[in-house]
Amino acid sequence: MTDRAAVVSEVLVAPDVVFAPVRSQTALEETVDRLGTAIKLGLLAPATRLPPERELCARLGIARSTLRQALAALSESGHLHATRGRAGGTFVADPQPPAAPPSPELLEVWREVCDERLAVELGVAVLAAERATPAALDSLAALVDALDRALDDFSTYRQADIHLHVGLAEATGSARLVKAMTEMQGAMSGLISFIAHPHDVLASSNAQHRRLLAALRERDEARAVRVMTEHIRATEHVLAGLLPAG
């Protein structure tokens, strides 16, 4: 009993985590974040029409006035625009405004974001190897082909890459993992969009995608994990070379 406590206390910094500041996001902040991330990741494609405000606020479980504040913020930043009248609506801006450079806070924690990414993607890899349907794998393979055709157009590539990774998460059937994946990609894309990605880098990255899908098709978890680890680490190394040391 006593020795256990002694042993434990050598390792534990847990109280720091337990007593760390409580970060309660307001509904407004969370909404701006959700919609903004989805738009920036291309999950809501340019020119997409959002549901009418009265419907959307019901879906999000917030008051219309709160939703409108969020929409106003995203219109202000040029990510959305609204038109009035019967055939009006709120649309994802096309083209999108240029991405903002990574914030100092993000640069502070980018290594931890990469760690988190490794976790999410590995979990997805293992579960997709176990559960992905052949149909889902076919769709994802088609996406990999599309990626190959976009090796010279980084913004198209990046968008499809996000779809591929989110698609993998969806193939696991776990909504929580999809959510984790989108949030994590949202955090990452602030970094990834800002570094040079020559043709060769993208080509080798997509070759890893292909190997990953092959492993998934054979339901080979171990290989899927290996390929995914390689894939994530490659990105990490590229980032490490180009960002201020963390």
d(CA 117, CA 189): 12
Q: Measured from the CB atom, is 52 or 198 closer to DNA?
A: 52
* Shortest spacing between CB 186 and DNA, in angstroms: 19
d(CA 11, CA 220): 35
Contacting DNA (CB under 7 A), which of 29, 112, 145, 152?
A: 29
Q: Is 50 in the site for DNA (CB under 7 A)?
A: yes
CB-based burial of residue 163 (10 Å sphere; 0-12 exposed, 13-18 middle, 19+ buried)?
buried
CB-based burial of residue 74 (10 Å sphere; 0-12 exposed, 13-18 middle, 19+ buried)?
buried
Q: Is 26 in the site for DNA (CB under 7 A)?
A: yes
Q: Measured from the CB atom, is 46 or 173 closer to DNA?
A: 46
Contacting its own copies (CB under 8 A), which of 71, 74, 92, 143?
A: 143
Q: Measured from the CB atom, is 102 or 143 closer to its own copies?
A: 143
Count of residues engaged in binding its own copies, rule: CB under 8 A: 79
d(CA 223, CA 214): 9
Contacting DNA (CB under 7 A), which of 64, 197, 210, 217?
A: 64
DSSP string covering 181-241? HHHHHHHHHHHHTTS---HHHHHHHHHHHHHHHHHHHTT-HHHHHHHHHHHHHHHHHHHHH
Q: Is 21 in the site for DNA (CB under 7 A)?
A: no
Could you tell me where the beta strands, DSSP code E, fall in 36-174? 80-83, 89-92
The answer to whether residues 17 and 161 touch, using CB atoms and an 8 Å cutoff, is no
Q: Measured from the CB atom, is 196 or 245 closer to its own copies?
A: 245
Write out the binding residues for its own copies, residues 167-226 only, by CB under 8 A: 167, 170-172, 174-180, 182, 221-222, 225-226
Q: Is 114 in the site for DNA (CB under 7 A)?
A: no
Count CA atoms closer than 13 A to 62's CA, side-chain side: 18
Q: Is 92 in the site for DNA (CB under 7 A)?
A: no
Segment near its own copies (CB under 8 A), from 19-27, 88-96, 203-211, 235-243? 19-27
* Shortest spacing between CB 51 and its own copies, in angstroms: 7
Query: Which of its own copies, DNA, none does residue 100 bind to, with CB < 5 to 8 Å depending on kind?
Result: none
CB-based burial of residue 14 (10 Å sphere; 0-12 exposed, 13-18 middle, 19+ buried)?
exposed
Give me the residues that bind DNA (CB under 7 A), please: 24, 26-29, 50, 52-54, 61-66, 68-69, 71, 82-90
